[in-house]
Amino acid sequence: MTMLSVVVPSYNREAFLPRCLSSLLTQDHPQFEVIVVDDASTDGSAACLQAIDDPRLKVLRHAGNRGVGAARNTGVSAARGRWIVFVDSDDELLPGALHCIQERADLAPPELHALWFRCRLDCGRLSPDPVPRAIDWDYFGYLRFIEETAFRCRDMLRCVRRECFDGLRYSEQRMHEAQYHLDFARRFRSRLFPDVLRLYHQDASDRLAPQVRSLERPRLPRSALEILTLKDAAQGYDGLLRDHGEALRRYAPTMYRNYLRRAAAAALSVGEHRGAWRHVRTLLAHAPFSSRSWRLLWSTLAVARA
């Protein structure tokens, strides 16, 4: 039986961890472990986790808050399974999900490295919906997928071969995982399956998806943690555009413009005016008739003048 390791990064999720862990520990798969990485929570998460007595549950804790990428890396380092399943701490797996994953994993050819499964949102919609035309992705296939689903929900459940992490880890910066997925697609192959295995909840107040969308416009950071997040985002999108910009421009132009907007807005938010100006100029050259691009230009000029 294939050993599966389920990695759950968590930060201040006291209210949602019982729901998530109940859905995992009641799975009928006989050979799996659950690794929760508490990213230095300040609520009652530690007590909540201590109250769960199950030998399949392993709890790790960061001394300081390091972000979701670092938490996933910590979980992977402790994992014993041949395949790693990533579950967010406010979500659930549907009954039988691990059995389905194991069956798909056992049939996966050696050249297939990641399995993606659909999820159901609280409103009942599925993600992604409809299923993309191409479900087997190399680098260019993945680029076409993110272009086809631009500005649509594409959240899924992801299962990855353990050995893929020997040479490629999540960013330790507080950067959204977009670069990681692009780097992964350039090195490995993935397949999307139609099975719906994850319940994607939107009832937590500090979810990552709204934070990522907020990067499309400049804003003043309100806390030291938000300053760190925006600085990492500015550096992260610089790296993403440096490493994948030309391929994005050719095969995923909508996402290319979106990443340019995020890079410019993040740089402007933390006072990196030269970086913001560089991204805005590229954006205007690529999309001269976009009103959003011109609004970013005026914001950049106004902040620089101030």
The model's pTM: 0.89
Packing angle, helices 224-251 and 139-148, rounded to 10: 110
pLDDT surpassing 50 at residue 17:
yes
Same domain, 281 and 133: no
Same domain, 179 and 290: no
Same domain, 282 and 152: no
pLDDT surpassing 60 at residue 213:
no
The 10s digit of each residue's pLDDT in 37-70 is 999 999 999 999 999 999 999 999 999 999 999 9
Domain of 88: which CATH number? 3.90.550.10
Same domain, 44 and 89: yes
Residue after which a domain boundary falls, among 165, 200, 235: 200
Neighbouring C-alpha atoms within 13 Å toward the C-beta of 2: 22
Same domain, 159 and 215: no
Q: What is the DSSP string of 140-159?
A: HHHHHHHHHTTTS----EEE
Residues 6+ positions from 298 with CB-CB distance below 8 Å: none
Same domain, 22 and 150: yes
Indicate the number of domains in the chain: 2
pLDDT surpassing 60 at residue 272:
yes
By residue range, what is the domain housing residue 290? 208-305
The 10s digit of each residue's pLDDT in 226-257 is 788 888 888 999 999 999 999 999 999 999 99
Same domain, 159 and 272: no
Same domain, 112 and 14: yes
Same domain, 17 and 74: yes
Distance, in Å, from the CA atom of 215 to the CA atom of 221, rounded to the nearest integer, reads 11
The 10s digit of each residue's pLDDT in 140-197 is 999 999 999 998 999 999 999 999 999 899 998 887 789 999 999 999 999 999 999 9
Give pLDDT, residue 296.
64
Give pLDDT, residue 79.
96
Distance, in Å, from the CA atom of 225 to the CA atom of 48, rounded to the nearest integer, reads 24
Same domain, 64 and 90: yes
Same domain, 179 and 228: no
Tokens of 240: 């993403």
pLDDT bracket for residue 210 (50, 70, 90): very low
Do the beta carbons of residue 143 and residue 39 sit within 8 Å?
A: no
Residue after which a domain boundary falls, among 183, 200, 217: 200
Based on the number of CB atoms within 10 Å of its own CB, is 144 exposed (0-12), middle (13-18) or buried (19 or more)?
middle
Distances (CA, A) of 294 to 253, 264, 278, 282, 291: 18, 12, 14, 12, 5
Q: Which residues make beta-bridge pairs with 60?
A: 37
Same domain, 194 and 293: no
Domain of 215: which CATH number? 1.25.40
Distance, in Å, from the CA atom of 144 to the CA atom of 134, rounded to the nearest integer, reads 9
pLDDT bracket for residue 293 (50, 70, 90): low
Residue after which a domain boundary falls, among 172, 200, 228: 200
Distance, in Å, from the CA atom of 219 to the CA atom of 217, rounded to the nearest integer, reads 6
